[in-house]
Structure 1
Amino acid sequence: MQLHEGLRETYAGSWQGLTHAEIRERFPEEYAAFGRGEPVRRGGGELSTEVADRAVPPVLAAFEKLPEDGTLVVVSHGGTIRTMLGRLLGLDPSQWECFGGLSNCSWSVLGPGARGWRLLEHNAGSLPEPVIGDDT
């Protein structure tokens, strides 16, 4: 097992520790822009693309070290995983929210495709449950 700082959750600045109701009340314009899918530094924190910039390289480096037919397991937070999936699948950042939230203790599976990575499973392991952030 290896720990990597790049796999930490998105830094949300002044939004850290607040509920969605508190964020909506204190930062209504910023929260509305985030809800519309605009690139927002939530609470002055990181953009989703910046999260992908720090999270994808250690995953690819670990993948390169795998033996043939090896399996890489990456454990992180749902938002970080969503940015990694979007980047690895070559999607535009405006489309990354299409994955929705990742339920606790669930996983996604990527595999090789004809032109890069393919999404084989998403939010697997449990029945979909409401995820923080899906109430927007």
Structure 2
Amino acid sequence: MAGVGPLTQDWEPVVIRKKAPTAAAKKDEKAVNAARRVGADIETIKKSTAGTNKAASSSTSLNTRKLDDETENLAHERVPSELKKAIMQARMDKKLTQSQLAQLMNEKPQVIQEYESGKAIPNQQILSKLERVLGVKLRGKK
């Protein structure tokens, strides 16, 4: 690099300070304190999302209204009993334990246990892995 002098470092300290409150904020604060000293009634309003990480939008009220209006009991879809039995039967035919099957699929043994007990929420990727490893067709007609 021609033309560049010797490298030097700037060792001057850098001080970073918090921004001072604006004049308007000071004026409001002074006015409130003066009113308090006089004994006037002061009403302060706290914004509901002030100081939080929530977006101020009306979508939450729409969702809450929909939930309140909803009358039926909603639940996640679970593994049907025919599928549970088919997975268990195919695993037994291959003489595999739940943990061996899970290892062949690169999944946790808990996943296989949840599917066989009917507690899992059906996932197409896991079902396709089960079909491939066990060599049976689990999906199709419901």
Alignment TM-score, normalising by the size of structure 1: 0.17
Larger Rg: 2
Larger proportion of strand: 1
Higher relative CO (Cα under 8 Å, sequence separation at least 6) belongs to: 1
Larger proportion of helix: 2
Alignment TM-score, normalising by the size of structure 2: 0.17
